[in-house]
Amino acid sequence: MLAAVGGSLLWSLAGCSEPSFPDADVIAGPSGRNVFEPAELSVSVGETVTWGFGSDGHNVCCQPADHDDVKLPDGAEPFSSYAPDESPAASLVPRGETYEHTFETTGEYHYVCTPHAFVGMQGTIRVE
């Protein structure tokens, strides 16, 4: 047991532990994987979704001008974890940080991580 505790302590001290996001609805890059977990989520109008970043090198992009796979309901405002004047490929959220967006329009939002969309790091939020 001492070896197991010591190993866990060493892992944590080395900065290799997984960040904890008790209030996050979606994890971006859990355990260093190029996925959003869960990949699909349903929420109500007016609800805020929080993304927690489990590893470096990711962002949230629901800006159709920045990626062809992004889709928004008619009348919905685009959103992203980076400012409109920033490059999506260069604007990555550090590990351990969070991003929030409040959904005001019903419908389906398909979003991506711009650097990893090509390997399937894409997600869907359904707003009812």
Of 13 and 97, the structure prediction assigns the larger pLDDT to 97
What is the model's pLDDT at position 13? Answer: 38
Mean predicted lDDT score pLDDT of the chain:
89
Tokens in use for 115?
């650097």
Dihedral in degrees, nearest 10, Cα atoms 69, 127, 81, 65: 30
What is the model's pLDDT at position 16? Answer: 58
Closest CA to 104 of 77, 79, 124: 77
What is the model's pLDDT at position 36? Answer: 98
Reply yes or no on whether the pLDDT at 14 is more than 60.
no
pLDDT digits (tens, 9 = 90+) for 50-100: 999 999 999 999 999 999 999 999 999 999 999 988 999 889 999 999 999
What is the model's pLDDT at position 19? Answer: 83
Reply yes or no on whether the pLDDT at 15 is more than 60.
no
| Domains of the chain and any CATH numbers | 24-127 (2.60.40.420)
What is the model's pLDDT at position 6? Answer: 33
In the structure, what pLDDT confidence band is assigned to residue 117 with cuts at 50, 70 and 90? very high
Give the C-alpha separation, 30 to 33, whole Å. 6
